[in-house]
Amino acid sequence: MSKEFDVVVIGAGPGGYIAAIRAAQLGKSVACIDAWVDADGKPTPGGTCTNVGCIPSKALLQSSEYYEHAKHGFKEHGIELGSVKLKIDQFLGRKNEVVQQNNDGILFLFRKNKVQFYSGKASFDGKADNGRYNILIDGKDKGSVSAEHVIIATGSEPRALPGLEFDEELILSNTGALAIPAVPKRLGVIGAGVIGLELGSVWRRLGAEVTVLEAMPKFLSVADEGVAKEAAKLYAKQGLKIEVGVKVGDIKTSAKKVTIKYDNAKGEEQTLEVDKLIVSIGRVPTTAGLNLESIGLTTNERGFIEVDEHCHTELENVWAVGDVVRGPMLAHKAEEEGVAVAERIAGQHGSVNYDLIPNVIYTSPEISWIGKTEQQLKEEGKKYKAGQFPFMANGRARALGDTNGFVKVLACAETDEVLGVHIIGPMASELIAEAVAIMEFKGAAEDIGRICHAHPTLSESLKEAALAVDKRSLNF
């Protein structure tokens, strides 16, 4: 006999585990089902983000940045280290430890909030019976459960090139790219998005010759043009080779190398030989095995589950959040949707402001932005003012020895409301939070400029950029 719950969440990634916890906090009986396990069969909740995405990539980015500093950056601080050696096993081992700490943390949170966790693959078992949905579990916790409400949060998986499947040895997805056992001499990356740039940066810092091939004619076309140009310049200076406007042709593998034929932006045929190839051309929603057809739920032509603005599917009491639905495939977007759905189920008015979901690229320099870009405002015919402040004029950045980049604030020419903030430079991922808060409350550039910021801090650069909107920056 199935155990009954108020809410069953399928998937324990950022959207799923957060939805389960919030629903439990609101007094609902909740179960969460997740299929991720490690090599020993131990449950590893957290989804792609925790296991092979956000968390391990940031661990490797941090470790590789320390390595690069030790080899090239510490001398200017008067620190002589002599020979610097990389222990790749320990390098990857630390990443695995960080992942496990996050896995264990989620299991602890489930226990703390009285969420019943089931390890296994979930699938619907026919249509709702008496207002409840039956769900089968195939795995360590084999059995079945039923619930009045079901939240689908099964995430996404890497998109492969047609005819070129991932073997995670030569042709790598994000999973394989996080676990290369030895630094390759030559590394190719197809796709200059977040994953490609971050993982390409990791292995470049460790000594690989990295070439990134991007089909789009402009580099980082989703970002502000000024930020994209600055990023391209700094990446090139670091030795990260990026080609845009390419058309990838035949890709062949041999025992120890990958050969990529492609046309460059001028239409000239090129050949690139690498030891490993990372393919990061996007992700597709994961719905296989859910048996959605048994309850009459379908996906659209792109594989996404259709939902309304409240993340409600066409079926009563069936919800979907995160990468499996429309919108940016970002962990923090999934979390916000998970909270909002849990609150809606409890009769509250959960909400998500999709216009204010920050974007971040965790390379060096970091890149973050929120709101409109300058090119978008121009296309819309919106009158705006722009203020910009370079980190080279910031005292804390100078002390850190990291003065690349700038902060740009875009504000309405008539009302001074902040319309967009774009940051490239040290700790951009942290600095963007203030901009999100200001914009959430319809704040003006003057509001940022009149807030007292501690000195010396990087955050003063945001204040100075806001002051620069009205041409009254104090330190530049």
Find out whether 246 is annotated in a ligand binding site. no
- Residue 128: what pLDDT? 79
Find out whether 200 is annotated in a ligand binding site. no
C-alpha span between 120 and 55 (Å, rounded): 22
Find out whether 330 is annotated in a ligand binding site. yes
- Residue 1: what pLDDT? 66
Q: Give the distance, in angstroms, between the CA of residue 347 and the centroid of all CA atoms in the same chain.
A: 30
Domains 3-155+286-346 and 159-281 agree in fold: yes
Amino acid type, 173: S
The structural domains of the chain, with segments of one domain joined by +, span 3-155+286-346, 159-281, 365-469
207 three-class SS: coil
- Residue 2: what pLDDT? 84
C-alpha span between 443 and 132 (Å, rounded): 45
Instruction: Say which CATH topology domain 365-469 has.
Output: Enolase-like; domain 1 (3.30.390)
Question: H or E stretch including 253?
Answer: strand 247-253
C-alpha span between 198 and 194 (Å, rounded): 6
Find out whether 432 is annotated in a ligand binding site. no
Q: What is the pLDDT along the chain (476 residues), one digit of tens a residue?
A: 689 999 999 999 999 999 999 999 999 999 999 999 999 999 999 999 999 999 999 999 999 999 999 999 999 999 998 899 999 999 999 999 999 999 999 999 999 999 999 999 999 998 877 889 999 999 999 999 999 999 999 999 999 999 999 999 999 999 999 999 999 999 999 999 999 999 999 999 999 999 999 999 999 999 999 999 999 999 999 999 999 999 999 999 999 999 999 999 999 999 999 999 999 999 999 999 999 999 999 999 999 999 999 999 999 999 999 999 999 999 999 999 999 999 999 999 999 999 999 999 999 999 999 999 999 999 999 999 999 999 999 999 999 999 999 999 999 999 999 999 999 999 999 999 999 999 999 999 999 999 999 999 999 999 999 999 999 999 99
Classify domain 159-281 at the CATH class level: alpha beta
Find out whether 197 is annotated in a ligand binding site. yes
* pTM for this entry: 0.96
Question: H or E stretch including 107?
Answer: helix 88-112
Find out whether 65 is annotated in a ligand binding site. no
Phi and psi at 458, nearest 5°, equal -65, -30
Q: For residue 48, give the nearest of 67, 63, 34, 29 by alpha carbon.
A: 34
- Residue 362: what pLDDT? 98
Find out whether 342 is annotated in a ligand binding site. no
Find out whether 11 is annotated in a ligand binding site. no
Among the listed residues 72, 310, 453, 455, the single catalytic one is 455
Spatial neighbors of 360 by CB under 8 A, at least 6 apart, are 366, 367, 368, 428, 429, 432
* Cβ 15 vs Cβ 34: under 8 Å: no
> CA 467 → CA 387, 393, 448, 462, 463, distances in Å?
7, 14, 8, 9, 6
Is 69 labeled as catalytic in the residue annotation? no
CATH number of the 3-155+286-346 domain:
3.50.50.60
Find out whether 144 is annotated in a ligand binding site. no
Q: For residue 116, give the nearest of 84, 147, 138 by alpha carbon.
A: 147
Phi and psi at 243, nearest 5°, equal -115, 130
- Residue 82: what pLDDT? 87
Cβ atoms within 10 Å, residue 435: 27
C-alpha span between 64 and 199 (Å, rounded): 10
